[in-house]
Amino acid sequence: MKKIWMKMMVATLLTFGILAPATSYAADNTPPKAIDEKLGVPIVVYGANLSEAEKESVKKSLKVNDEPEIEEITVAGEDLVKYIKDSNASSRMYSSAKITRKEKGQGLVIEIVTPSNITQVTSEMYANAMLTAGIEDATVQVAAPKAVTGHSALVGIYKAYEVTTGEKLDTERTDVANEELSVATTLAESAGVDDAKVAELLTEIKKQIAELKPATREDVEQIVQDQLSKLEINLSEKDRQLLVDLMDKISKLNIDFSKWSEQLNDISNTLQEKFGALMEDKGFWASVKNFFSNLKDSVASWFN
Protein backbone atom coordinates (compact mmCIF):
# COMPACT_ATOMS: atom_id res chain seq x y z
CA MET A 1 0.00 0.00 0.00
CA LYS A 2 2.90 2.33 0.88
CA LYS A 3 4.39 1.83 -2.59
CA ILE A 4 1.09 2.72 -4.25
CA TRP A 5 0.86 5.98 -2.25
CA MET A 6 4.45 6.84 -3.17
CA LYS A 7 3.69 6.33 -6.88
CA MET A 8 0.55 8.47 -6.60
CA MET A 9 2.49 11.25 -4.86
CA VAL A 10 5.20 11.30 -7.56
CA ALA A 11 2.53 11.35 -10.28
CA THR A 12 0.79 14.27 -8.53
CA LEU A 13 4.05 16.20 -8.19
CA LEU A 14 4.81 15.70 -11.87
CA THR A 15 1.28 16.68 -12.88
CA PHE A 16 1.34 19.99 -10.98
CA GLY A 17 4.90 20.85 -11.97
CA ILE A 18 6.38 20.67 -8.47
CA LEU A 19 9.36 18.77 -9.89
CA ALA A 20 9.77 21.33 -12.69
CA PRO A 21 12.81 23.10 -11.15
CA ALA A 22 14.96 20.13 -12.17
CA THR A 23 13.91 20.63 -15.79
CA SER A 24 14.42 24.39 -15.45
CA TYR A 25 17.86 23.82 -13.98
CA ALA A 26 18.82 21.68 -16.97
CA ALA A 27 17.52 24.31 -19.36
CA ASP A 28 19.44 27.05 -17.54
CA ASN A 29 22.63 25.06 -17.99
CA THR A 30 22.30 25.02 -21.79
CA PRO A 31 25.45 26.80 -22.94
CA PRO A 32 24.80 30.13 -24.67
CA LYS A 33 25.66 30.55 -28.33
CA ALA A 34 29.32 31.55 -28.42
CA ILE A 35 30.79 34.50 -30.29
CA ASP A 36 33.22 33.32 -32.97
CA GLU A 37 36.35 35.31 -32.14
CA LYS A 38 38.26 33.86 -35.09
CA LEU A 39 35.86 34.38 -37.99
CA GLY A 40 33.79 37.22 -36.54
CA VAL A 41 30.11 37.77 -35.85
CA PRO A 42 27.40 37.34 -38.49
CA ILE A 43 26.59 40.35 -40.65
CA VAL A 44 23.02 41.29 -41.52
CA VAL A 45 22.58 43.50 -44.57
CA TYR A 46 19.23 45.23 -44.98
CA GLY A 47 17.74 46.60 -48.18
CA ALA A 48 17.80 50.40 -47.92
CA ASN A 49 14.15 50.81 -48.91
CA LEU A 50 12.70 48.74 -46.08
CA SER A 51 10.28 50.55 -43.81
CA GLU A 52 10.82 50.17 -40.06
CA ALA A 53 8.03 47.60 -39.87
CA GLU A 54 9.49 45.67 -42.81
CA LYS A 55 12.94 45.77 -41.23
CA GLU A 56 11.55 44.28 -38.03
CA SER A 57 9.90 41.54 -40.08
CA VAL A 58 13.22 40.75 -41.77
CA LYS A 59 15.00 40.68 -38.40
CA LYS A 60 12.50 38.13 -37.16
CA SER A 61 12.85 36.00 -40.29
CA LEU A 62 16.66 36.02 -40.01
CA LYS A 63 16.52 35.35 -36.24
CA VAL A 64 18.76 38.32 -35.56
CA ASN A 65 17.90 38.33 -31.84
CA ASP A 66 19.14 34.73 -31.50
CA GLU A 67 22.71 35.89 -32.11
CA PRO A 68 24.80 37.03 -29.09
CA GLU A 69 26.32 39.80 -31.24
CA ILE A 70 25.77 40.87 -34.81
CA GLU A 71 26.91 43.58 -37.22
CA GLU A 72 24.22 45.37 -39.22
CA ILE A 73 24.72 47.29 -42.47
CA THR A 74 22.52 48.60 -45.29
CA VAL A 75 22.73 48.03 -49.05
CA ALA A 76 21.49 50.79 -51.36
CA GLY A 77 21.46 51.79 -55.01
CA GLU A 78 24.99 53.20 -54.87
CA ASP A 79 26.23 49.74 -53.84
CA LEU A 80 24.47 48.27 -56.85
CA VAL A 81 26.44 50.65 -59.10
CA LYS A 82 29.67 49.74 -57.33
CA TYR A 83 29.33 46.00 -57.87
CA ILE A 84 27.30 45.81 -61.08
CA LYS A 85 28.23 47.94 -64.08
CA ASP A 86 25.45 49.68 -66.06
CA SER A 87 23.06 49.23 -63.13
CA ASN A 88 20.51 51.74 -61.84
CA ALA A 89 21.54 53.69 -58.73
CA SER A 90 17.89 54.52 -58.01
CA SER A 91 16.89 50.84 -57.84
CA ARG A 92 14.82 49.98 -54.78
CA MET A 93 16.38 47.42 -52.45
CA TYR A 94 14.27 45.17 -50.25
CA SER A 95 15.73 41.64 -50.15
CA SER A 96 18.13 41.23 -47.23
CA ALA A 97 20.58 38.62 -45.97
CA LYS A 98 22.54 37.30 -42.99
CA ILE A 99 26.07 36.11 -43.73
CA THR A 100 28.10 33.93 -41.36
CA ARG A 101 31.68 33.04 -42.27
CA LYS A 102 32.72 29.39 -42.07
CA GLU A 103 36.06 27.61 -41.86
CA LYS A 104 37.97 27.19 -45.10
CA GLY A 105 36.74 24.23 -47.11
CA GLN A 106 33.23 24.12 -45.62
CA GLY A 107 31.70 25.60 -48.78
CA LEU A 108 28.53 27.60 -49.30
CA VAL A 109 25.22 26.93 -47.57
CA ILE A 110 22.33 29.06 -48.84
CA GLU A 111 18.87 29.20 -47.27
CA ILE A 112 15.97 31.35 -48.43
CA VAL A 113 14.03 31.75 -45.18
CA THR A 114 11.07 33.53 -46.82
CA PRO A 115 10.67 31.42 -49.99
CA SER A 116 7.24 32.81 -50.84
CA ASN A 117 8.72 36.33 -51.00
CA ILE A 118 11.78 35.55 -53.16
CA THR A 119 9.97 34.87 -56.40
CA GLN A 120 12.68 34.24 -59.02
CA VAL A 121 16.03 33.33 -57.47
CA THR A 122 16.58 29.90 -55.87
CA SER A 123 19.21 29.03 -53.27
CA GLU A 124 21.17 27.08 -55.91
CA MET A 125 21.12 30.08 -58.26
CA TYR A 126 22.51 32.23 -55.44
CA ALA A 127 25.20 29.63 -54.72
CA ASN A 128 26.26 29.44 -58.38
CA ALA A 129 26.42 33.24 -58.72
CA MET A 130 28.30 33.65 -55.44
CA LEU A 131 30.86 31.09 -56.50
CA THR A 132 31.35 32.92 -59.80
CA ALA A 133 31.80 36.18 -57.85
CA GLY A 134 34.49 34.59 -55.67
CA ILE A 135 32.55 34.08 -52.44
CA GLU A 136 33.43 30.90 -50.57
CA ASP A 137 32.86 29.22 -47.20
CA ALA A 138 29.83 30.98 -45.75
CA THR A 139 26.31 30.33 -44.56
CA VAL A 140 23.88 32.79 -46.13
CA GLN A 141 20.22 33.29 -45.26
CA VAL A 142 18.06 35.45 -47.53
CA ALA A 143 14.79 37.14 -46.57
CA ALA A 144 12.31 39.73 -47.82
CA PRO A 145 9.17 41.12 -46.15
CA LYS A 146 7.16 41.11 -49.38
CA ALA A 147 7.31 39.57 -52.83
CA VAL A 148 10.49 40.61 -54.71
CA THR A 149 12.60 38.89 -57.36
CA GLY A 150 15.58 38.53 -55.00
CA HIS A 151 18.26 40.04 -57.22
CA SER A 152 19.29 42.86 -54.87
CA ALA A 153 20.14 40.38 -52.09
CA LEU A 154 23.17 39.29 -54.13
CA VAL A 155 24.60 42.82 -54.01
CA GLY A 156 24.00 42.89 -50.26
CA ILE A 157 25.86 39.60 -49.96
CA TYR A 158 28.81 41.10 -51.89
CA LYS A 159 28.97 44.08 -49.54
CA ALA A 160 28.60 41.99 -46.39
CA TYR A 161 31.26 39.53 -47.56
CA GLU A 162 33.76 42.33 -48.11
CA VAL A 163 32.99 43.78 -44.68
CA THR A 164 33.32 40.45 -42.86
CA THR A 165 36.45 39.22 -44.68
CA GLY A 166 38.26 42.48 -45.42
CA GLU A 167 38.76 41.18 -48.96
CA LYS A 168 37.82 43.06 -52.14
CA LEU A 169 35.80 41.12 -54.69
CA ASP A 170 36.86 41.30 -58.33
CA THR A 171 34.25 43.54 -60.02
CA GLU A 172 34.66 41.65 -63.29
CA ARG A 173 33.58 38.50 -61.49
CA THR A 174 30.67 40.20 -59.72
CA ASP A 175 29.48 41.60 -63.07
CA VAL A 176 29.50 38.13 -64.60
CA ALA A 177 27.87 36.65 -61.48
CA ASN A 178 25.02 39.14 -61.78
CA GLU A 179 24.66 38.29 -65.47
CA GLU A 180 24.55 34.62 -64.49
CA LEU A 181 21.69 35.29 -62.10
CA SER A 182 19.87 37.21 -64.84
CA VAL A 183 20.34 34.41 -67.38
CA ALA A 184 19.21 31.81 -64.82
CA THR A 185 15.97 33.66 -64.09
CA THR A 186 15.40 34.30 -67.82
CA LEU A 187 15.68 30.60 -68.58
CA ALA A 188 13.35 29.76 -65.71
CA GLU A 189 10.78 32.44 -66.57
CA SER A 190 10.68 32.93 -70.34
CA ALA A 191 12.13 29.62 -71.55
CA GLY A 192 9.97 27.60 -69.15
CA VAL A 193 12.83 25.54 -67.71
CA ASP A 194 12.30 24.41 -64.14
CA ASP A 195 14.39 26.20 -61.48
CA ALA A 196 16.09 22.99 -60.38
CA LYS A 197 16.93 22.11 -63.99
CA VAL A 198 18.37 25.59 -64.58
CA ALA A 199 20.59 25.29 -61.52
CA GLU A 200 21.69 21.81 -62.58
CA LEU A 201 22.42 23.01 -66.13
CA LEU A 202 24.57 25.95 -64.98
CA THR A 203 26.43 23.80 -62.48
CA GLU A 204 27.16 21.01 -64.96
CA ILE A 205 28.35 23.42 -67.69
CA LYS A 206 30.66 25.16 -65.23
CA LYS A 207 32.01 21.81 -64.05
CA GLN A 208 32.86 20.94 -67.65
CA ILE A 209 34.54 24.32 -68.15
CA ALA A 210 36.60 23.72 -65.00
CA GLU A 211 37.58 20.24 -66.19
CA LEU A 212 38.12 20.81 -69.92
CA LYS A 213 39.41 24.42 -69.82
CA PRO A 214 38.02 25.39 -73.25
CA ALA A 215 40.36 27.58 -75.31
CA THR A 216 37.83 29.05 -77.76
CA ARG A 217 34.22 30.19 -77.88
CA GLU A 218 33.49 27.22 -80.15
CA ASP A 219 34.76 24.89 -77.41
CA VAL A 220 32.46 26.59 -74.89
CA GLU A 221 29.53 26.32 -77.30
CA GLN A 222 30.13 22.59 -77.65
CA ILE A 223 30.14 22.15 -73.87
CA VAL A 224 26.86 24.06 -73.60
CA GLN A 225 25.24 22.01 -76.34
CA ASP A 226 26.45 18.73 -74.83
CA GLN A 227 24.89 19.57 -71.47
CA LEU A 228 21.64 20.78 -73.03
CA SER A 229 21.40 17.46 -74.84
CA LYS A 230 22.34 15.46 -71.78
CA LEU A 231 19.68 17.14 -69.64
CA GLU A 232 17.15 17.14 -72.51
CA ILE A 233 16.60 20.90 -72.33
CA ASN A 234 15.39 22.68 -75.46
CA LEU A 235 16.15 26.38 -75.75
CA SER A 236 15.41 28.94 -78.43
CA GLU A 237 18.44 30.12 -80.38
CA LYS A 238 18.27 33.44 -78.54
CA ASP A 239 18.32 31.80 -75.10
CA ARG A 240 21.03 29.37 -76.16
CA GLN A 241 23.22 32.28 -77.28
CA LEU A 242 22.60 34.04 -73.95
CA LEU A 243 23.90 30.93 -72.22
CA VAL A 244 26.92 30.57 -74.52
CA ASP A 245 27.82 34.26 -74.07
CA LEU A 246 27.66 33.88 -70.29
CA MET A 247 29.73 30.71 -70.18
CA ASP A 248 32.31 32.16 -72.57
CA LYS A 249 32.79 35.06 -70.12
CA ILE A 250 33.03 32.66 -67.19
CA SER A 251 35.69 30.61 -68.98
CA LYS A 252 37.84 33.76 -69.29
CA LEU A 253 37.64 34.81 -65.63
CA ASN A 254 40.68 34.65 -63.38
CA ILE A 255 39.55 31.58 -61.46
CA ASP A 256 41.41 28.65 -59.94
CA PHE A 257 39.38 26.09 -61.88
CA SER A 258 40.91 23.09 -60.09
CA LYS A 259 39.57 24.41 -56.78
CA TRP A 260 36.32 25.54 -58.41
CA SER A 261 35.52 22.01 -59.53
CA GLU A 262 35.30 20.76 -55.94
CA GLN A 263 32.97 23.58 -54.95
CA LEU A 264 30.73 22.94 -57.95
CA ASN A 265 30.53 19.29 -56.95
CA ASP A 266 29.13 20.44 -53.60
CA ILE A 267 26.35 22.32 -55.42
CA SER A 268 25.69 19.27 -57.61
CA ASN A 269 25.38 17.05 -54.55
CA THR A 270 22.99 19.52 -52.91
CA LEU A 271 20.82 19.54 -56.03
CA GLN A 272 20.73 15.76 -56.15
CA GLU A 273 19.84 15.52 -52.46
CA LYS A 274 17.02 18.07 -52.79
CA PHE A 275 15.65 17.35 -56.25
CA GLY A 276 17.31 14.17 -57.54
CA ALA A 277 14.23 11.99 -57.83
CA LEU A 278 12.06 14.82 -59.15
CA MET A 279 14.59 15.89 -61.79
CA GLU A 280 14.59 12.38 -63.19
CA ASP A 281 10.80 12.11 -63.16
CA LYS A 282 9.67 13.51 -66.54
CA GLY A 283 6.09 12.55 -65.76
CA PHE A 284 6.13 14.71 -62.64
CA TRP A 285 7.30 17.82 -64.50
CA ALA A 286 4.80 17.17 -67.29
CA SER A 287 2.01 17.05 -64.73
CA VAL A 288 3.23 20.28 -63.11
CA LYS A 289 3.25 22.06 -66.48
CA ASN A 290 -0.21 20.70 -67.30
CA PHE A 291 -1.53 21.89 -63.95
CA PHE A 292 -0.37 25.47 -64.48
CA SER A 293 -1.50 25.45 -68.09
CA ASN A 294 -4.96 24.36 -67.02
CA LEU A 295 -4.96 26.91 -64.19
CA LYS A 296 -4.06 29.68 -66.63
CA ASP A 297 -6.93 28.64 -68.94
CA SER A 298 -9.35 28.55 -66.02
CA VAL A 299 -8.40 32.03 -64.80
CA ALA A 300 -8.66 33.40 -68.34
CA SER A 301 -12.17 31.96 -68.67
CA TRP A 302 -13.32 33.96 -65.62
CA PHE A 303 -12.96 37.18 -67.60
CA ASN A 304 -14.62 35.99 -70.84
**Quick one: pLDDT at residue 292?**
38
Residue 229: inside a domain: yes
Residue 122: inside a domain: yes
**Quick one: pLDDT at residue 58?**
96
Specify whether 43 is located in the same domain as 164: yes
Specify whether 256 is located in the same domain as 164: no
**Quick one: pLDDT at residue 15?**
38
Specify whether 137 is located in the same domain as 44: yes
**Quick one: pLDDT at residue 261?**
57
* Domain end among 120, 136, 170: 170
Q: Which positions of the chain have pLDDT values less than 70?
A: 1-31, 257-304
Residue 19: inside a domain: no
Specify whether 84 is located in the same domain as 128: yes
Residue 288: inside a domain: yes
Residue 234: inside a domain: yes
Residue 245: inside a domain: yes
**Quick one: pLDDT at residue 258?**
64
**Quick one: pLDDT at residue 294?**
43
The domain of 264 spans: 190-295
Compute, in degrees rounded to 10, the torsion defined by CA atoms 130, 268, 224, 122: -50
Q: How many structural domains are present in the chain?
A: 2
Specify whether 130 is located in the same domain as 210: no
